[in-house]
Structure 1
Amino acid sequence: MNLNAPPASASAGPNAAVERHLLDTVATDPAAASPAEIMHAVAQVAREHLSRRWVATDRADRAARARRVYYLSMEFLIGRTLSNALAAVGLTGEMAAAAKAHANTLEDLTATEADAALGNGGLGRLAACFLDSMATVELPSYGYGIRYEFGMFKQSIVGGRQVEHPDPWLEDGTPWEFPRTGVSYPVRFGGWVEPGAHGSSGSIWRHAGEVNAKAYDMVIPGHGTPRVSTLRLWKAAAPSQIDLHAFNTGDYARAAEFKNQYENISWVLYPNDSTPAGRELRLRQEYFFTSASIQDILARHLAEHGRLTNLAEKVAIHLNDTHPAIGVAELMRLLVDEHAFGWAGAWALTQKVFSYTNHTLMPEALETWPVSLMQHVLPRHLEIIFRINSEFLAAAAKLRPGDNEFMRSLSLIEERGERRVRMAHLSIVGSHKVNGVSALHSELLVQTIFANFAALWPERFTNMTNGVTPRRWLAQANTGLASLIDSTIGDGWRLHLDQLIGLREHAANADFRNAFLAVKQANKLRLAEHIRAHTGVPVDATSLFDVQVKRIHEYKRQLLNVLQVVARYQAMLADPDADWVPRTVIFAGKAASSYVSAKAVIQLIHDVGTVINTDARLRGRLKLVFVPNYGVSVAEVIMPGADLSEQISTAGTEASGTGNMKLALNGALTIGTDDGANVEIRQQVGDDNIFIFGLSTAQVAAQRAAGYQPLRIYEENPRLKAVLDAIAGGRFSEDEPGRYRALVDSLLWGGDHYMLLADFDSYVAAQSRVDALYRDPQAWARKAIANVAGMGFFSSDRTIREYARDVWGLAAKA
């Protein structure tokens, strides 16, 4: 069969193919089809092409006995698939024509597709960008994750408060997944461990429960290539469906109890871990998808090679953060207990196979599990971790004999207080490469939290600065700007983003600047309509659109942004006739369901916005809005319309960030600290084209060492004092004056851990520089164009080529 030939339906014309699927697949009258039904039919046309590409890719990789990379991630935030799939297979124009034949636009159809609820924030979006790039640079590759039925949650704002709802993105089915009926693996929990045969390194795990992991595949197409990558997601299925006896006796709850007990593993991303049951479910989730994935990898390898001794030659397994870190112990278990490897041989293979990306510099954010919980859920894995730790520490002790503090810092077990397994330490010891995700982050990793590991293995640590896919975040999200760039420097930037540097010379051209500003204004009008539709707040699309969109977390300092908005509000009331630059401040993002402080910040944004947006004295020159349910599709509306990108984390806390890259790629100027990838953005776009403020990483450390005193800053700064007093005193919460007392107390009396008060004045001054530049649209356009032109380095294609070369040992297409 010629898999390179187009599907038979292609020769009949685009609309005929769509109508055939409306009849034969969707089973509806083409003349009466709804936009959602037409979307499913169009998706089926694309799916025919993707299926052929998937089979051809798999056939070629099996024939070549290819070395593959397997990317394990708790999240894959892929968003909607239709537009990306059509672009990849070259059907965008034809399907737009087919949609028009049915009195729709392609945008009407894509709007009916649910975002795939497979992630939450930057971790999942990075993984999605990476799969796109793996396919595009032609790496044999799989992503592995969980097929969440209800996502993390769908967010609504009710009375200013975040309310979480299930996100049933699969309730109407999705045309993009392929159930793999014959691919299922047992995943076991609990029980006890017995010694194996005499002289064997293996043990016998007498488990107490078992769930089946069933495979569902999604095809991730490459661009400019017929190759694809595979995203394999696991659904938990109970071995027996219901207790029929209990059902027949009327005990319907007990009839489904066993089924729910196991299948809830794949219901929700990041279940609330404030309860013991929630913490256990999280550990089960992590082990569930990691075990199924590694079993699948070994099965594929054995089918192609017949032996596991050459596993490291053909398999690279990458841990995206520590959620799949238990895979180190699981691979050891499978090799030693089920495939009769000796311990030393299994450990040598394991270290060669695994690599690990760290995503945080904050010790409190590094994942650990209580030893007691792991003993209860995964007793055999705990045994393996103890042995790995014992042998590792014995080797390390020879280098620093008698240095107990050195040994404590390296141990896989935290012994102070409740004994806990340190998953980042397990990842480092079990991997041959460990990387950070920006130059600053990687430097700080080896200087701070992992300094002693770096002293042992300096060659193990490296940097891989993050990137984003230009296909999703410029070509798809910002068609107006993409078309302008195409007509100016050609369309090669989609596969070679460094070609954007060619825009730099056009920044001096007034016609190009005006065209650039016209595209931005059209995107702002679209964003303004989205804001009105989803918040009820009308905003001025000619005002400066000041955007902070990311998960809500104290270190990301949304609260600092609110403080400067209140300061601006108070200044405007003090001098209402001054020539204030109109500004719309736009927030979006989700707070973890158990994160009380983050939820309080969301409510504060709402309450401050309610006061500001209804104050007639401002004459509409300042608005504050919170856009609900932030995700990929919402981001695709916000990012093209942003003028200013808020990247204001405390220096030394943000590993990289990718929202900063997406916003700059879409022509937003960055206001931020010299943190994460902001440092490299500044280097690429130039110091004059970015607004940097605040303490540096070294200055943050110095202030903390000297004894940081936020209360003194408050007492000596009248502007800051007025802001905090207004918030704490109930100016924005008259129905409950003490609502934000705890938030303010955390700054004044709780140590202001993320140093908002230290950076406040510098931040306000930087915002004044923003205002001054925005008054001159042509000068603003020059700097915005310089940002787009400087973003070539931040393609995920470049990042993946570096991973392939320096970490995974694979050859990528140039």
Structure 2
Amino acid sequence: MNITKEKILSDLKKVAMIMFTKEFVDTSKEDQYKIFATVIKGYLSENWLEKNENYRIGKEKQVYYFSLEFLLGKMTCTNIINLGLEELCMEVMDELGLDFKGFDKYDAEPGLGNGGLGRLAACFLDSMASIGIPGHGCGIRYDYGLFEQKIVNGEQIEGPDNWLKNGFVWETKKSHQSKRIKFYGDITLKELGGCLTPVHTGYETILAVPYDVPIVGYKNKVVNNLRLWKAQIEGNDFDFNSFSYGTFSELDEKKRNAEAISKLLYPDDTTESGRLLRLKQEYFFVSAGLQSIVDYNSKKGITPNEFPNTFSIQINDTHPALCVAEFMRILIDEKKVYWDEAWEITKEVMSYTNHTILTEAMEKWEIDKVQQLIPRVYMIIEEINRRFCDEVYQKYDDWDRVMEVAIIKDRLINMAHLAIVGSHSINGVSKLHTEVLTKKVLKNFYELYPERFNNKTNGITHRRWLLKSNKALTTLIDEMIGSSWKDDPNLLEKLTEFSEDKNFCEKIEGIKLENKKKLAELIWQETGIEVDINSIFDTHVKRLHGYKRQLLNILHIIYLYREILENKDFTMHPKTFIFSAKAAPGYYLAKRIIKLINSVGKLINNDDRINKFIKVIFIPNYSVSKAQIIIPGSDLSEQISTVGMEASGTSNMKFMMNGALTIGTLDGANVEIKEAVGGENIFIFGLNYKELKEIEKKQSYNPIKFLKENPKINKIVEMLRDGTFGGDFSSIYSHLVDEDRYFVLKDFNSYLETHKKIDGIYRDRDRWNSMVVKNIAKSGHFSSDNTIRKYAEEIWKI
């Protein structure tokens, strides 16, 4: 398609007339955004239609990425960039006297994810489209995202994230491709055609309605698909008679129960009803997605034995682990495939990505819930478990060993075990994470199936996290090494030769300063606090969890507070400590840490003796769009998780790509970042994994003893319960003193000394800037394009 400025102007005029019966210039700013986005959607839809048709008539293998989260971020500007229309659109905006950036506030930010898991899924979809792999996403179209976070009196307050309130231009409803999902009921075996056949009766049907979202490849005419499923009741959803009499009927109750499935990302699973709803969600999108894939391939004339050559399914964490049993159900009950063949097909099609070594984070479902909600699927899980346990017993003749790997144990179904047994590939997401899985957490499975285990270190898409988020840096890189790196981010390596180029480094520093001004403006808008852009912007943004150790960070800030007050000779380069994070609504400790950060910040920010050295900022309601301002404007990236607990991390990669240096433990992908940039260009502190495991083995760490031996640290911990911060933080105090399972105190001294080292290096601008350039140069290594190529070659065989 030949798109020109004149064509865009003409199409804006036509679409404005169709949508609003007005001239484009006479519509509201919000309507102008909708018109503009609709025009752009029209351009990409031609490629979308063509690519879908090519997939439909061809036999090219396709990939389906099943994930409960897809944290996409705002899509309009990214789609314009990937279509190669950015300059044209800027010209059109200039001619119409419009602010291109002003449209951003009307661009819906899909509330389809929480943190790294969902953002990774979004980066992977972007990479699949951009390197030309036919890969699609499958998830849920939540009416409301995780929650909208507000900070009131320092406390996190959750409200509805109504991201769909003004519509979502980028989705297309496909009602004719809806699927029926069966819940509850009874299974009886009846003789049909000489075979005992399971018959499902008395079930409740929920309709899964698909909404498709285009995933646009970078300047390559590829448009793949993210299919999101919405739940509703089948047939008439309105009882006219009851409503007209002012009453509610059984139909109204059914409608509410059905729609609840796709109402909210992560309902509270601390309650029985919340857990049941979560299980419903997981089966709902798994069943809808698999039915859709099987129907699509069957219509192409592909038989079940050909499925492994036609499509692959990637299970992203344990949420979609029911894929294994549901696919077996479809093959056996609907496609009439015998068990043994169906099992081989399933294993060849399925692959599983593990994202955690925390056993409590690996889902387990009560037998009673699964048996009640999806009785036929439970029967299949039970049979998979029986056959698997028999296989293991035949190999080891050891029932204890069987129980260590059983899918069903103590009346619980271990979903990670189901995913492992039913997949041909199990991958970790960083070298250390995979090593921990194979040597400890999943050691028994590794001994059973060593050929199935592999590592695929996570990655990020430079198209959003550099091209979109940091245009000035993008332009400078183009000037220095050309623009080919946009297609091959590994070419960023060429920047290494400029790491000692003072002129180039000064330009990098100037871009960072401008980005810090933008971040300072965001901080002012969100908090009303003015910050010094010449201070070190020290940033800790990610999901709030004990193992991510925001607590270690704030304890260090409290330490600095005391030092400034008590030590007249104390000096430091001014620092602005920036936090942003959401805590799960039911996670009490995490919510108290948010309160502590805000309470410490209030005390420090209002004390003129202290705030010339440090300020503490908490930016509420962390999101992709805020990250796109925060990350380019940061000097220092806090990646300080307890070693061995962060599977990979991807914010560490985003920060290095935007010229922030990392302070972190040798955890997750930090290990590989250190290997890439060299130990002299990253700030590593704390225990390594072997040291921590040795301490756990010997039980040699005693927090109380540690505090007695470290009186300065003991004083700051005591401040948690002496009222200094205007609140009672005794629960955090007890967490540290009674268990300190995340080794916050153990790593404190090392963390403190490393921060002192950073302070000195930052003052040496030439050295700091050289380190920044080396980090940017090596960041292309962590492109999700590289990661996806490895998935494609080694797992999907595509």
Q: TM-score, normalised by structure 2?
A: 0.98
Give the residue type in structure 1 aligned to 2:784: S
Aligned to 2:734: 745
Aligned to 2:717: 724
Equivalent residues in 2 for 1:309-388 (5 A)?
309-388=305-384
Aligned to 1:792: 780
Aligned to 1:758: 746
Match of 2:596 among 596, 601, 604: 604
Aligned to 2:289: 293
Aligned to 2:221: 226
Aligned to 1:51: 45
Distance 2:147 2:20 in 1: 29
Equivalent residues in 2 for 1:662-681 (5 A)?
662-681=654-673
Question: RMSD in angstroms over aligned alpha carbons?
Answer: 1.4
Q: In the superposition, relative to structure 1, how do residues 610 and 619 fare at CA in structure 2: closer, same or farther (>3 Å)?
A: closer
Match of 1:68 among 57, 62, 66: 62
Shift of 1:244: 3.1
Match of 1:649 among 636, 641, 656: 641
Shift of 1:174: 1.4
Match of 1:175 among 169, 178, 184: 169
Distance 2:165 2:378 in 1: 38
Aligned to 1:783: 771
Distance 2:301 2:158 in 1: 48
Shift of 1:150: 0.8
Aligned to 2:702: 709
Give the residue type in structure 2 aligned to 1:385: I
- 1:758-794 residue CA offsets vs partner (Å, 9 max, x unmatched): 1010011111111111112221111011110111210
Distance 2:402 2:202 in 1: 33
Match of 2:404 among 400, 409, 413: 409
Helix, strand or coil at the partner of 2:632: helix
Helix, strand or coil at the partner of 1:45: helix
1:263 is aligned to 2:234: no
Distance 1:61 1:259 in 2: 36
Q: In the superposition, relative to structure 1, how do residues 22 and 514 fare at CA in structure 2: closer, same or farther (>3 Å)?
A: same
Q: In the superposition, relative to structure 1, how do residues 393 and 220 fare at CA in structure 2: closer, same or farther (>3 Å)?
A: same
- 1:229-279 residue CA offsets vs partner (Å, 9 max, x unmatched): 100000101124133333233213765221011111101000011111000
Shift of 1:605: 0.6
Aligned to 1:506: 498
Distance 2:580 2:48 in 1: 36
Q: Does the 8 Å contact 1:38/1:99 carry over to 2?
A: no
- 1:720-761 residue CA offsets vs partner (Å, 9 max, x unmatched): 11110112212112xx4xx21011111101x11111111010
Distance 2:202 2:64 in 1: 27
Give the residue type in structure 1 aligned to 2:392: A
Helix, strand or coil at the partner of 1:598: helix
Aligned to 1:238: 233
Give the residue type in structure 2 aligned to 1:177: E
Distance 1:26 1:95 in 2: 21
Shift of 1:105: 2.1
* Aligned sequence identity (%): 40
Helix, strand or coil at the partner of 1:360: coil
Aligned to 2:278: 282
Give the residue type in structure 1 aligned to 2:213: M
Distance 1:677 1:716 in 2: 33
Distance 2:570 2:553 in 1: 22
- 1:409-435 residue CA offsets vs partner (Å, 9 max, x unmatched): 1100132xxx21000000000000000
Distance 2:777 2:20 in 1: 44
Q: In the superposition, relative to structure 1, how do residues 501 and 306 fare at CA in structure 2: closer, same or farther (>3 Å)?
A: closer
Distance 1:220 1:467 in 2: 18
Aligned to 2:755: 767
Equivalent residues in 2 for 1:470-509 (5 A)?
470-509=462-501
Aligned to 1:431: 423
Shift of 1:202: 4.2
Give the residue type in structure 1 aligned to 2:554: V
Equivalent residues in 2 for 1:6-25 (5 A)?
6=2, 10=4, 12-25=6-19
Distance 1:505 1:6 in 2: 39
Helix, strand or coil at the partner of 1:448: helix
Distance 2:653 2:244 in 1: 58
Give the residue type in structure 1 aligned to 2:439: Q
Equivalent residues in 2 for 1:184-195 (5 A)?
184-195=178-189
Aligned to 2:135: 141
Q: Does the 8 Å contact 1:188/1:208 carry over to 2?
A: yes
Q: Does the 8 Å contact 1:219/1:228 carry over to 2?
A: yes
Shift of 1:31: 2.5
Give the residue type in structure 2 aligned to 1:220: I
Helix, strand or coil at the partner of 2:476: helix
Give the residue type in structure 2 aligned to 1:741: S
Q: Does the 8 Å contact 2:720/2:732 carry over to 1?
A: no
- 1:393-452 residue CA offsets vs partner (Å, 9 max, x unmatched): 111111110x2321111100132xxx2100000000000000000011011101111101
Aligned to 1:567: 559
Give the residue type in structure 2 aligned to 1:753: R
Match of 1:448 among 432, 440, 445: 440
Distance 1:412 1:207 in 2: 28
Stretch deviating more after TM superposition (218-227 or 237-246):
237-246
Q: Does the 8 Å contact 1:587/1:625 carry over to 2?
A: yes
Shift of 1:204: 1.6
Distance 1:723 1:575 in 2: 15
- 1:262-317 residue CA offsets vs partner (Å, 9 max, x unmatched): 11110100001111100000000000000000000001100112422211110101
Shift of 1:25: 2.8
Equivalent residues in 2 for 1:192-203 (5 A)?
192-197=186-191, 200=195, 202-203=197-198
Structure 1: 5+ residue runs without aligned partners?
A: none
Q: Does the 8 Å contact 2:5/2:91 carry over to 1?
A: no
Match of 1:686 among 659, 678, 702: 678
Distance 2:677 2:371 in 1: 51
Q: Does the 8 Å contact 2:605/2:611 carry over to 1?
A: no
Shift of 1:577: 5.7
Structure 2: 5+ residue runs without aligned partners?
A: none
Aligned to 1:151: 145
Q: Does the 8 Å contact 1:247/1:255 carry over to 2?
A: no
Stretch deviating more after TM superposition (478-487 or 573-582):
573-582
Shift of 1:619: 4.4
1:217 is aligned to 2:212: yes
Give the residue type in structure 2 aligned to 1:614: N
Distance 1:168 1:311 in 2: 39
Q: Does the 8 Å contact 2:563/2:570 carry over to 1?
A: no
Distance 2:651 2:190 in 1: 51
Helix, strand or coil at the partner of 1:234: strand
Distance 1:205 1:279 in 2: 24
Distance 2:495 2:419 in 1: 42
Q: Does the 8 Å contact 1:26/1:40 carry over to 2?
A: no
Match of 1:77 among 71, 78, 83: 71
Q: Does the 8 Å contact 2:429/2:457 carry over to 1?
A: yes
Distance 1:648 1:545 in 2: 16
Report how many residues are paired.
Answer: 795
